[in-house]
Amino acid sequence: MVDKKIKCIDCHKDFIFTEGEQQFFEEKGYSEPIRCKDCRSKRKSEKSTSGFRRY
């Protein structure tokens, strides 16, 4: 594997998907990311603060 350059679908900036990250994603069965780390973190925090919580 080699590092891959991917364009984020939210901010449209290029980010590097490193060889180590690719191996981790493959081991976990995750698909290749479509968002950079900053946009993934932002989206995750927006999800956790919006809506209602089920108890």
42 SS3 class? helix
Q: Which has the closest alpha carbon to 33: 4, 2, 54, 55?
A: 4
Where do the DSSP E strands lie in the chain?
4-7, 14-17
How many CA within 13 A on the CB side of residue 14? 5
Q: What is the mean pLDDT of residues 26-48?
A: 94
Question: Residue 15 pLDDT > 60, yes or no?
Answer: yes
**How much is the pLDDT for 49?**
72
Q: Residue 47: its pLDDT value, please?
A: 83
Sign, Cα dihedral of 44, 45, 46, 50:
positive
Segment 35-55 mean pLDDT: 81
Question: pLDDT at residue 50 above 70?
Answer: no
Could you tell me the pTM of the whole model?
Answer: 0.74
CA 8, chain centre distance (Å) = 9
Q: Enumerate the domain spans of the chain.
A: 4-44
